Every structure is written in structure tokens, then in C-alpha cells.
Amino acid sequence: TSVQNSEAIERLIDIVRSRLHRKPVVVLSATANTTNTLIECAKIASGGNYEKAYDILRAIKEKHLRIVRELFCNNEKIINELSDKLKLIVDDLRDVVKGIYLLSELSQRSIAKVSSFGELFSTLIISYALNDRDIHTELIDARNFMVTNNNYSNAEPVFEEIIDKARKILQPYIDSGKVVVTQGFIAATSDGITTTFSRGGSDYSASVIGMALDAEEIEIWTDVDGILTADPRKVQNTKIIKEISFKEAAELAYFGAKVLHPSAILPAIEKNIPVRILNSCSPEKDGTLISSDIKTRSDKNRFLIKSITSKSNITVLNIYSPKMLLAYGFLKKVFEVFDKHETSVDLVTTSEVNVSVTLDNNAITGDGNLLEIEKELSVFSEVSVDKDKSLVCVVGSDLKYIPGITGRIFNSLNDYNISMISQGASIINISFVVDSKDLDLVLQTLHKEFFENDHNN
Ligand code: ASP
Ligand code: MG
């Protein structure tokens, strides 16, 4: 969305200009919705409707040509030159889509190829716009240095190669005072086959590049003011978190705080590079700073609890085995079953003869898989399944320093049914399970308790 139309691109140019003294590398996503549309187009082509796929391609081309006309309204020469280049890329895309149509087949490799075009369009246009506005820019195809494995549409970076290539290929331009522009999200195998990271992966690309080049800071420019104290679709009066630690942010990303790609901060953590989330529509706002140590910073005492998150739609399995009293190997047997079914478990609570685990419904590959798991566990235990449950997680790295914090959390939730209370050893989160029907009220109640009376926190 930060590059969705010519207005957004003008704002982006101002942002880049304001950072020139810091020698930025600009990592761009596709224009809003283009990646979705491209994937849709590929699906339609593989389903046999070439006409419709072709119409979609035409619309994508038109959308980008319109941006070009708006950005360079009085420069016919640039408009023509850039339009010709865009049309050549669209021709390539059309060939790929035609191939998918002819084969009626859509592999992950083809999906990666098709979805890479969104970033090719956006970077071409924006590198022209930057140069036109006197910001000396070099467009570098990410596939020249962003090396991944061949898990085509969900690829993993090969860090050693990326570090080596990014330094050789990007650094000289940066040193010469140019702004390097490159594509987020897209990459290539060492054989040069186009790959992509998972969806939303341009944040991740930026972080990988920042790590490879030892950047001073990684800025993620998005369309919200930063990371919020709770999901605004579920909770009212949410606030922006000013500063948050890597660990806390990782916890939130896992819980689906949509602001960041879940892996985006991992490369930054590696090199201890601060990550800032900023709003490209209001660049003057401070956003959220994610860094390793925030204890020494000014607002230490402001919000000890950083955020309240949740995962709706989980299943709880209670595994009870009185025979296991004082015997060993119970947990091993239990987890072997999950291992066999490649099902990941989120929260675990145990007593001597009972283990309860939560499973993310999205991670259960169909009902059959759950039934199988139940059946195998039943061989040595009694199993009960609770559906319609939700997981709530209170995140804050200083939780262990706050006397009475658990009391305060649960006192405020007296009216609700709570189970599986668990406090991670790192004590950056306290999690528990509630009935899904109560989730929104639980979140709102906790948010009120901790964020709506500032003096309390
Ligand atoms: N364009 C890609 C996507 O839509 C990557 C990104 O936007 O971060 O998933
Ligand atoms: Mg994005």
C-alpha cells in the first residue's frame, strides 16, 4: 500500500529523500493487491479460461501504465520509454500465463514465477521516478543476489551466498552515493530459477538485506502507525506500542499481529539491528521501535505489558492416564504421536497424570488427522477434545518484575472460564485458554485493565 498509486509513490520519494544521508537501500513490494491478482490470474489460466486470465493481465498492465502517466505527466519521452519497458515485462508474463494455460497445471514453481512480476513492475516504475526527481538510483534485480533453496513459493534464504553477493553487488553502488532499489519478496535459486518468500515477504527481504549489509536500522514502511496493544478488530481504544523487544515482537508476530511478516525480524536479531515500523501515510509519526534492549529507555515504566493477543479457533486435547502415575515416558509417548502426524503443539500444561495441549486448527490437516491422533493417544490414555476454544496471550518482557501481575490478570477475568494457564520460562508471556464465545470480552476487559488507565501500569 505504500506504493499503491502515484500519490503514495510521491510520498515514498519524499521519505527516501529525507533519509539520503543514511545511504538507504530501498526494498519494494508490489503495488497493493497486485500479487493477489497475479495469483488469481494464474489459477484461472490453469483452470482453462485463458480469455479471463488475459483480461486480468490487461487490467494489471493498465493499472501500472496509469501510474506511469500520473507520475510523469509532462514528460512524454519518459512515459514512452517506461511504457515500452513495462510492455516487454507484460509480454513475458503473458507467455508464462499462456504456458500455465496450455499445460492446465499450476506448480509452486509457476506460482512463484507469476507472482514475482508485481515487484518487477513496481521497482521499474519507482526507480525511474526517483531518478526523475534527482535521486540517483540504481535498480538491481533481487534475483542477482537473493539466493534461496528451491522451495519455490515459500523459499528459505541461503545466507552465506546472499551476504557475499549483496556486498559485492550492492555495496559499490551504495559507496558511490547511489540509492539502490530492489524487489522485496522475490529471489532465485542458485540456478537462477525465480522463487519467492511466503506472502508478505518483502519485509523479510528488507531484513535479510539489512543483515547482509550490516545496516544501521531497518525501516518497514506500511499503512499503520505501528504495532498495537491489541487487535483493533477485536478491541477498542488500542494504542501504538512505542518500543518493544525482539522477543516480544516475535511472540506477537507468531500470534498473527498482521503488521509484520512472522520471520521479518529474525535476520535483524542475528545482527542486533533495530527495526522500526513506520506509516508511509504519516511519516512524521514515531512508529514502533523493535530492538534488543529497551530496559534503559525512557518509557520503561509506562507499559510493562506490551500487548494482548489471541488465537481464535484452537482445539484443546486433554490426555489423561492414571496408569502413568509415577511411571516415566508418558510425555514422550504423547509427543511421539504429534510428531508422527507432523502436528505442532502450541501450549502445553501438565500434571502427574494429565497433559493438555492446544492445537492450532489451521495446523491440523483435516479432521481425519485429529481423529487419528485421538485414536493413537487412546491406546494408552483417555482423551477428551474441547473445540471452540481460543488462546489468549499477554506479552511483556518485564512480566517477572511485576509483583501481583498474574493476580491482576485473573482477577479482572473473574467472570470467565479459564484453563491451561501457562507462563513461559522466559516470562515474556502469560497464556491461557478461554471459550471462543468469550474471547472478545476477555480481550477488551484485559485491555481496559492494563491500557486504559495509564497510571495503573
Ligand atoms: N507482494 C508480496 C505479497 O503481496 C510481498 C509483500 O507485499 O510483502 O505477498
Ligand atoms: Mg507487505
Q: What is the DSSP string of 1-51?
A: -TTSSHHHHHHHHHHHHHTGGG--EEEE-PSTTHHHHHHHHHHHHHTT-HH
pLDDT of residue 353: 82
pLDDT of residue 258: 67
For residue 35, the ligand 1 atom closest to its alpha carbon is 4
Q: Which residue has the higher pLDDT, 246 or 326?
A: 246
Q: Which atom of ligand 1 is nearest to the CA of 200?
A: 8
Task: Tell me how far the alpha carbon of residue 397 lies from the centroid of ligand 2, in angstroms.
Answer: 27
C-alpha distances in Å from residue 126, one per residue of 16, 300, 377, 397: 11, 40, 56, 40
Non-local (6+) Cβ contacts of 366 within 8 A are: none
- The per-residue pLDDT for 296 is 44
Return the pLDDT at 254: 64
Q: Which residue puts its alpha carbon closest to atom 8 of ligand 1?
A: 200
Report which ligand 1 atom has the smallest distance to the Cα of 197: 5
Instruction: Please give the helix or strand (H or E) that residue 254 lies within, else none.
Output: helix 246-254
**Atom 7 of ligand 1, residue of closest alpha carbon:** 200
Determine the pLDDT at residue 325.
64
Mean pLDDT of 5-10: 94
Q: How confident is the model at residue 455 (pLDDT cuts 50, 70, 90)?
A: very low
Per-residue pLDDT at 257: 60
C-alpha 36 to ligand 2 mean position (Å): 12
In this structure, what C-alpha cell is assigned to residue 132?
526523475
Name which residue sits closest to atom 6 of ligand 1, judged by CA: 200
Please state the pTM of the whole predicted model.
0.84
Which region among 77-81, 94-98, 109-113, 256-260 has the lowest average model confidence (pLDDT)? 256-260
351 alpha carbon to ligand 1 midpoint, in Å?
44
Question: How far does residue 142's CA lie from ligand 1's centre (Å)?
Answer: 14
pLDDT exceeding 90 applies to what percent of the chain?
A: 70
User: Which ligand minimizes its atom distance to the CA of 27?
Assistant: 1
Q: 76: Cβ–Cβ under 8 A, 6 or more apart, which residues?
A: none
Q: Alpha-carbon torsion 11, 14, 18, 19, what sign?
A: positive
Decide: 166 and 145 in contact? Cβ < 8 Å. yes
Q: Which of 4, 35, 186 to mutate to test the pocket of ligand 1 (most atoms within 8 A of CB)?
A: 35
From the CA of 118, the nearest ligand is 1
Q: How far is the CA of 42 from the centre of ligand 1 (A)?
A: 16
Q: Whole-number mean pLDDT of the chain?
A: 91
Asked if residue 30 has pLDDT above 50, the reply is yes
Q: Give the residue with greater pLDDT, 183 vs 259.
A: 183
Give 201 Cα–ligand 2 centroid separation in angstroms.
Answer: 7
Pocket test for ligand 1, best of 121, 199, 208, 260 (most atoms within 8 A of CB): 199
Q: How confident is the model at residue 361 (pLDDT cuts 50, 70, 90)?
A: confident
Please report which ligand is nearest the Cα atom of 221: 2
Q: Whose CA is nearest to atom 5 of ligand 1?
A: 200
Q: Mean of the pLDDT values across residues 292-321?
A: 76
Residues 116-129: what's their mean pLDDT? 98
Centroid of ligand 2 to alpha carbon of 123 (angstroms): 14
Hey, what's the cell of 456?
Answer: 495503573
**Contact by Cβ (8 Å): 13, 179:** no
Q: With CA atoms as reference, report the closest residue to 446 among 225, 227, 228, 229.
A: 229
| Distance of alpha carbon 240 from alpha carbon 222, whole angstroms | 14
Q: How many CB atoms lie within 10 A of CB 10?
A: 14
Range 214-239 average pLDDT: 91
Query: What pLDDT does residue 404 have?
Result: 82
> If we measure between CA atoms, which residue out of 231, 243, 233 comes closest to residue 277?
243
Helix (H, G, I), strand (E, B) or coil at 453: coil
Distance CA 414, CA 246 (A): 32
Q: What is the pLDDT of residue 301?
A: 47
Ligand 1 mean position, distance from CA 205 (Å): 10
Best substitution site from 123, 185, 205, 218 to test ligand 1's pocket, by max atoms within 8 Å of Cβ? Answer: 185
Q: What is the mean pLDDT of residues 19-41?
A: 97
Which percentage of the chain shows pLDDT scores above 70? 93
Q: What is the pLDDT of residue 255?
A: 65
Q: Whose CA is nearest to atom 2 of ligand 1?
A: 200
Mean pLDDT across 98-103: 97
Residue labelled with grid coordinates 534475483: 143
| Banded pLDDT at 74 (limits 50, 70, 90) | confident
What confidence score (pLDDT) does residue 329 get?
A: 84
Pairwise CA distance, residues 268 & 141, whole Å = 22
Residue 171 has pLDDT above 70, yes or no: yes
* 314 CA from centroid of ligand 2 (Å): 26
pLDDT band at 440 (very low <50, low <70, confident <90, very high): very high
pLDDT for the residue numbered 69 = 96
Q: Which has the closest alpha carbon to 442: 410, 413, 401?
A: 413
Distance 199 CA to ligand 2 centre (A): 8
Q: What is the pLDDT of residues 180-205, one digit of tens each?
A: 999 999 999 999 999 999 999 999 99
Mean pLDDT score, 431-446: 96
pLDDT digits (tens, 9 = 90+) for 378-417: 998 999 999 999 999 998 877 777 778 888 899 999 999 9
Q: What is the pLDDT of residue 288?
A: 93
**Ligand 1 neighbours (beta carbon < 6 A):** 29-30, 35, 118, 184-185, 199-203
